[in-house]
Each structure stands twice: as structure tokens, then as C-alpha cells.
Amino acid sequence: MLRGLDVWGTSDGEPTIIKAAGRDALDGTVTVYVADSLSAESHDRLRSVLDNFDRLEAAEVVDEVRVTRWPKTVEAPTDGPAAAALACYDEFVEAVGADALEPGFEERSGDGSHGRTVEFADICIAIREDGELTGLYPRADEDASVEDCLTALAAGNPVENV
């Protein structure tokens, strides 16, 4: 019986150990939201996140990971993909509150021509079960990073924090 899977990650040359025995696959959908414009550092971080999700999929911990692009900054009112990004942000705020999303997300009141401006996190993970948000990373109020989500998934720990 396979109890665990050691795979080489990119973090300090240490293996990522994925617990395989005695667990079910995550019952939900995973979406990785990525800002359209990333710094070189954030791009490297994204590659590491996606590599880790590839390993989690290979170990059958998660069934599918969706990657969705969103703008780095949106000024409302708007339409199209920017409006979809704002709707997603509003879902997050409703679930955990705006303070829990800082500093990854920042909302400012707009001037006369714009209702508000939202700066989006470079990388965000949302976990939904039956369409309901159950996990959200990063969260400042729980000191939960994107990497914490990956570590919890690999170890077989819960990722529901909403």
C-alpha cells in the first residue's frame, strides 16, 4: 500500500511529501487566480504553485485545477472580464470580509468618474464545493498563504477556512 509520495519540489531542494494513504481526493474545485501582470519574483512563485498542483493532481489529491487570469487593477464600474473579477472579489469580501484579504487585495474609493478601484492579489487560490466558497488563500486574518494551502493539501489536512 502506498502511504506517501516523495516528489522533488523547488523549495530549498527539499522533497514535497504528499500523503497518499487513507485519504480521499479533495471534494471540490480548485481555482488559481493569477494577475495579468506579474513581477519576475511572482512569476517564479506562480511556476512553483502550478508545479505543486501538478504533483497533487498526479497523486490524485485534487481532480482538476483551473487557472483564471484577472486584471491587476480594476476601476469600477466596468464590464467584461474586469466585471467578472470584481464579482469574484465581492464574493470573497462577503465570505471573509475585506480586512481578511489585505494586503493581497486593496480596495479604494474612487473619484467622481469611478466608484471604486480594486487591486488584485498576484496569486490567489479559491476552493469551492458545490459552487460555495469553502477555502480562500491568502487570508491575512488567519495568516494563511497560498503555500499554506499547498502544504495542507499535501499533508491531507483540511483547507476549508471560510
What pLDDT, in 10s, does the model give residues 99-120?
A: 999 999 999 886 656 678 999 9
E-only strand ranges, 9-101: 15-19, 29-35, 65-70, 73-76
| Band (7; pLDDT cuts 50, 70, 90) | very low
Reduce the DSSP state of residue 57 to 3 states and report it. Answer: helix
In this predicted structure, what is the pLDDT of residue 57? Answer: 92
Residues 6+ apart with CB under 8 A from 18: 4, 5, 6, 7, 55, 56, 59, 61, 154
